[in-house]
């Protein structure tokens, strides 16, 4: 039951769509983080429904790409973009002192690095979605869902396993670093990957193309997320919600870019 509550807690916090079940229990905070990947799956399905509708309406590739990009970030409540911008300002400049980087991270004002990085990210993300737009299919929809699930899986694992920053809300988690807390997140990703591979291979157990596409995209997303988290946590001295948003945004950017290149 705690994982059901955890999912709804994650939905209420990380998705713009109003959650029908509102109950917050601090003792279920780890379950909330472990169910975070399922929120990505949920958002991915909704984005794919929007893609289907735009395809039926015959919208142009550019318009579809722009609308899907806007719909996706709207569904997240822009919470991950906020972390992306904060970390861009704090991590990218060559400040030698960690205290200064942390001060910038908590500064509510947006600096030039945040603005420039946001513009570049949105251009590449929208262009990649526009490249994907004319190729609507259930198989390609499954790849998009894999991207949004995989990025949040690594985020959940890093939050549950990596020591938090002193100023992070994740300091409230009890007994960090236990592998068993990450099992639900890993299971969710395995299930989503398996479904995607079956769809891509035409429900054939011996076809390899589905495994290649799904695994390449999933590995790209997870590698980008892991590298981003390592750099951020090293420069900021631990894990935080802003770092989670940064790694999710960067990894999904690489995911849709690779998807646009290979499908």
| Secondary structure (H, E, C), the chain | CHHHHHHHHHHHHHCCCCCCCCCCCHHHHHHHHHCHHHHHHHHHHHHHHHHHHHHHHCCCHHHHHHHHHHHHHHHCCCHHHHHHHHHHHHHCCCCCCHHHHHHHHHCCCCCHHHHHHHHHHHHHHHHHHHHHHHHCCHHHHHHHHHHHHHHHHHHHHHHHHCCECCCCHHHHCCCCCCHHHHHHHHHHHHHHHHHHHHHHCCCCCCCCHHHHHHHHHHHHHHHHHHHHHHHHHHHHCCECHHHHHHHHHHHHHHHHHHHHHHC
Q: Please, are residues 256 and 148 in contact by the beta-carbon 8 Å criterion? A: no
Q: What tens digit of pLDDT does each residue of 87-136 get?
A: 999 888 876 688 888 888 887 888 889 999 999 999 999 999 999 999 99
Instruction: Give the pLDDT confidence score for residue 121 in this predicted structure.
Output: 97
- Phi-psi region at 237: left, alpha or beta (left = phi > 0; alpha = psi -120 to 50): left
Question: What is the structure's pLDDT at 231?
Answer: 92
Q: What is the pLDDT of residues 130-174, one digit of tens each?
A: 999 999 999 899 999 999 999 999 999 999 988 888 777 776 666
pLDDT at 205 over 60: no
pTM of full prediction above 0.85: yes
Residue 194's pLDDT band, with cuts at 50, 70 and 90, is: confident
Question: Does position 214 have pLDDT exceeding 50, yes or no?
Answer: yes
The confidence band for 6, taking pLDDT boundaries of 50, 70 and 90, is: confident
pLDDT tens column, 10-60 = 999 999 999 887 777 877 788 899 999 999 999 999 999 999 999 999 999
CA 219 to centroid of chain Cα atoms = 14
Q: How confident is the model at residue 75, as a pLDDT?
A: 96
- Distance between terminal CA atoms of the chain? 39
């Amino acid at each position: 039951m705690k994982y059901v509550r955890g999912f709804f807690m994650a939905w209420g916090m990380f998705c713009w769509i109003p959650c029908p079940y509102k109950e917050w229990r601090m003792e279920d905070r780890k379950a909330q983080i472990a169910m975070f990947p399922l929120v990505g799956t949920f958002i991915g399905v909704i984005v794919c429904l929007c893609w289907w509708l735009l395809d039926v309406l015959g919208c142009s590739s550019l318009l579809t790409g722009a609308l899907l990009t806007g719909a996706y970030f709207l569904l997240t409540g822009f919470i991950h973009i906020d972390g992306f911008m904060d970390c861009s300002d704090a991590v990218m400049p060559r400040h030698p002192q960690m205290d200064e980087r942390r001060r910038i991270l908590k500064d509510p004002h947006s600096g030039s690095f945040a603005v420039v990085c946001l513009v570049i990210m949105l251009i590449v993300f929208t262009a990649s979605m526009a490249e994907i737009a004319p190729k609507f299919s259930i198989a390609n929809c499954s790849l998009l869902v894999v991207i949004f699930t995989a990025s949040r899986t690594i985020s959940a694992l890093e939050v549950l396993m990596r020591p938090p920053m002193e100023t992070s809300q994740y300091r409230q988690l009890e007994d960090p670093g236990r592998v068993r807390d990450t099992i639900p997140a890993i299971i969710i990703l395995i299930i989503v990957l398996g479904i995607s591979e079956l769809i891509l291979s035409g429900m054939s157990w011996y076809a390899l193309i589905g495994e290649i596409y799904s695994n390449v995209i999933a590995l790209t997303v997870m590698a980008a997320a892991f590298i981003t988290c390592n750099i951020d946590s090293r420069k900021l001295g631990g894990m935080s919600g802003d770092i989670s948003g940064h790694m999710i945004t960067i990894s999904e950017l690489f995911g849709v870019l690779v998807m646009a290149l290979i499908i």
